[in-house]
């Protein structure tokens, strides 16, 4: 904050009650999302986490249309429908863990909507969210240290470096997401979110050794056909909007 000269903006945001209340809610949503995601990964629910982030783009696009009054073209609605069919089929095959997926999707969808509308920049907003969550984290770490014999830090050098490095891997995408959410339509940001669950999906197959069922493969194809259609429509519109040289 000091290096980028954002200290004045930080002070201004801390003095605005509406901004603080919004960031308090966004901090709660991102904390819920982090906890749900880490719990699902550590307990072997890799595909449940992947499904949650496949549901997320649908949630974000609905929020963009309902709350921000954004409009979709006919082709984009067709892409949304195709993706919804694929996601719906995945959800039907994972009803026992669907609650995990819904927590991940809804919490991050609300987080993104709040960050798009709050009067605070990406770095300032993330800093205030960290300030809000820090006391809770310190209490939890203190309780863990005294009640359960400490945290994972310090047990193994590689593990400790990995946990600390996860902080950067978490913070940098959140900064980029907050910047993009303010600059782009929320429906477009939503559709771009299909990239993350695909990475989780592939990790489940390759790293964690989970089995892919035929319905999952079919849904995967449907979702990425939808992504291709949506992306093509955006590209076509951007070319049509370019000024013709004299």
Mind listing the pLDDT tens digit for each residue in 137-161?
A: 999 888 888 887 777 677 788 888 9
**Which residues contact residue 84 at a Cβ distance below 8 angstroms, ignoring those fewer than 6 apart?**
58
H-type helices in the chain, by residue range? Answer: 7-14, 17-42, 46-67, 74-92, 98-117, 122-148, 157-183, 186-192, 195-206, 214-241
Candidates 233, 131, 158, 219; CA nearest to 191 is 233
Q: What pLDDT does 118 receive? A: 94
Q: Kindly report the backbone phi and psi dihedral angles of residue 120, in degrees, each rounded to the nearest multiple of 5, phi listed first.
A: -150, 135
Residue 33 has pLDDT above 90, yes or no: yes
Return the SS3 of 147: helix
Alpha carbon distance 140, 38 (integer Å)? 16
Q: What pLDDT does 24 receive? A: 97
CB 186 within 8 A of CB 60: yes
Query: Does residue 233 come out as left (phi exceeding 0), alpha (psi in the -120 to 50 range) or beta?
Result: alpha
Q: What pLDDT does 245 receive? A: 64
Mind listing the pLDDT tens digit for each residue in 103-125?
A: 999 999 999 999 999 999 999 99
CB atoms within 10 A of CB 130: 13
CB atoms within 10 A of CB 193: 22
Residue 244's pLDDT band (cuts 50, 70, 90) = low
Mind listing the pLDDT tens digit for each residue in 64-95?
A: 989 999 888 898 889 888 888 888 877 777 77
Average confidence (pLDDT) over 182-209:
82
């Amino acid at each position: 904050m000091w290096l980028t000269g954002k200290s004045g903006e930080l002070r201004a945001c801390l003095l605005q009650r509406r901004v603080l209340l919004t960031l308090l809610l966004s901090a709660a949503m991102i904390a819920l999302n982090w906890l749900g995601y880490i719990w699902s990964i550590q307990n072997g629910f890799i595909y449940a986490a992947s499904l949650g982030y496949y549901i997320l783009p649908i949630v974000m696009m609905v929020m963009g249309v309902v709350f921000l009054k954004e409009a979709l073209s006919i082709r984009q609605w067709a892409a949304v429908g195709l993706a919804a069919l694929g996601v719906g089929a995945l959800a039907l095959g994972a009803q026992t863990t669907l609650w995990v997926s819904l927590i991940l999707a809804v919490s991050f969808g609300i987080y993104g909507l709040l960050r798009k509308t709050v009067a605070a920049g990406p770095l300032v907003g993330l800093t205030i969210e960290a300030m809000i969550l820090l006391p809770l984290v310190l209490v939890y770490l203190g309780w863990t240290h005294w009640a359960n014999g400490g945290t994972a830090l310090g047990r193994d050098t590689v593990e400790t470096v990995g946990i600390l490095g996860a902080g950067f891997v978490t913070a940098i995408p959140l900064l980029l997401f907050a910047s993009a959410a303010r600059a782009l339509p929320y429906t477009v940001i939503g559709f771009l979110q299909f990239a993350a669950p695909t990475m989780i999906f592939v990790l489940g197959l390759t790293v964690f050794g989970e089995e892919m069922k035929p319905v999952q493969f079919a849904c995967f194809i449907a979702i990425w056909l939808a992504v291709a259609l949506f992306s093509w429509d955006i590209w076509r519109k951007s070319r049509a909007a370019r000024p013709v040289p004299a």
